[in-house]
Structure 1
């Protein structure tokens, strides 16, 4: 993407996140976003058709990077040296959510939180789907297990946000796997590559 276009998008995202932090989503107008970002109306509409499109783009922007296949070294964390095991991926996701705390908190406090949670759950289902082996499900539908894990992780994120992200990503990842691992590995013989 052209550097000017990227800078404008980031400016719009930042303005939108700032507004979400102190104003209800339904009360935010496109004009509010334009004023906060200090851009023209035509500039906004050349990037987004509506504020709902902006919200979806903000979610996708966050998640496309978070759920990237390659774990790279970043300013707050470095998972480039790890294997792509599920625990590393989950901890990596938690670091990104923490780095995007202001945006995430704004989104979770607005009326469109269900859209955000639905988008992240879809990404999580794709992630978990790759780590559960079909041959060990022992008559439990894989879709059920994937849905359960993704739903549990979404609830974990909500709990973490509610507690102002007091736990480190590593600690929260440990909580999550301590809760899902015993039933998966001891009771149902479901194989998951952690």
Structure 2
């Protein structure tokens, strides 16, 4: 069983690496499943045993990103309402090549939408207890969407500008811009809606 699992992991890794390399070279929209097969040296039937299409391969890449981000959040309980975004920036910086492929100029809209959803869900889980404790009238989905939209926009800008600032500095800038909105959400009551 271990041998099969190792072979499956190796095949999935080779397909993922081929996808990332091709996205960096050509852009997501311009690559085909056949391009990925050729680069990974994997047969068509093997590919379809693991993935439905190139989008499912791409989304599987985000499963790994999600797991790593949750692990980063669980490893160290760092305080502050901006921590999930700081964890995202730190993760993006550590995995620059992947983020350049998936989120930069060469990535597609499907990439950005999926990463946005992933981050909004992560932020909702992070903000839910804070908003509930504050008795906020702002729905957690609205607060999470606000924070995720700002973070993803900043992340895409950062990737496209070759990670001009380090992740800590970018997180501080994000916090300076987003904190007033978060504080307002924590103070909001139902009279605003």
Q: Where on the TM-score scale, by shorter chain, does this alignment land: which range?
A: 0.7 to 0.9
Gaps of 5+ in 1: 73-79
Q: Which residue, 183, 190, 193 being the options, matches 2:186?
A: 190
Higher helix share: 2
- Supply the distance in 2 between the matched residues of 1:154 and 1:95 (Cα, whole angstroms): 14
> How far has the Cα of 1:98 moved from its partner?
1.8
Which segment drifts farther, 18-27 or 63-72? Answer: 63-72
> How far has the Cα of 1:39 moved from its partner?
1.8
Partner residue, 2:115? 120
Which segment drifts farther, 8-17 or 115-124? Answer: 115-124
Q: Is the Cα contact below 8 Å between 1:137 and 1:189 reproduced in 2? A: no
> How far has the Cα of 1:84 moved from its partner?
5.8
- Supply the distance in 1 between the matched residues of 2:182 and 2:159 (Cα, whole angstroms): 26
Partner residue, 1:65? 68
Is 1:98–2:93 an aligned residue pair? yes
TM-score by length of 1: 0.79
Gaps of 5+ in 2: 188-193
> How far has the Cα of 1:178 moved from its partner?
0.9
Partner residue, 2:9? 6
Partner residue, 2:171? 173
Q: Which residue, 59, 83, 97 being the options, matches 1:56?
A: 59
Deviations 1:57-108 (A, max 9, x none): 1222222322337544xxxxxxx4x446544433222121122222222223
Is 1:157–2:155 an aligned residue pair? yes
TM-score by length of 2: 0.80
How many residue pairs match? The answer is: 180
Q: Which residue, 45, 68, 73 being the options, matches 1:42?
A: 45
- Aligned alpha-carbon RMSD (Å): 2.5
Residues 189 and 102 of structure 1, relative CA distance in 2, 3 Å threshold: closer
- Supply the distance in 2 between the matched residues of 1:60 and 1:106 (Cα, whole angstroms): 16
- Supply the distance in 1 between the matched residues of 2:145 and 2:185 (Cα, whole angstroms): 18
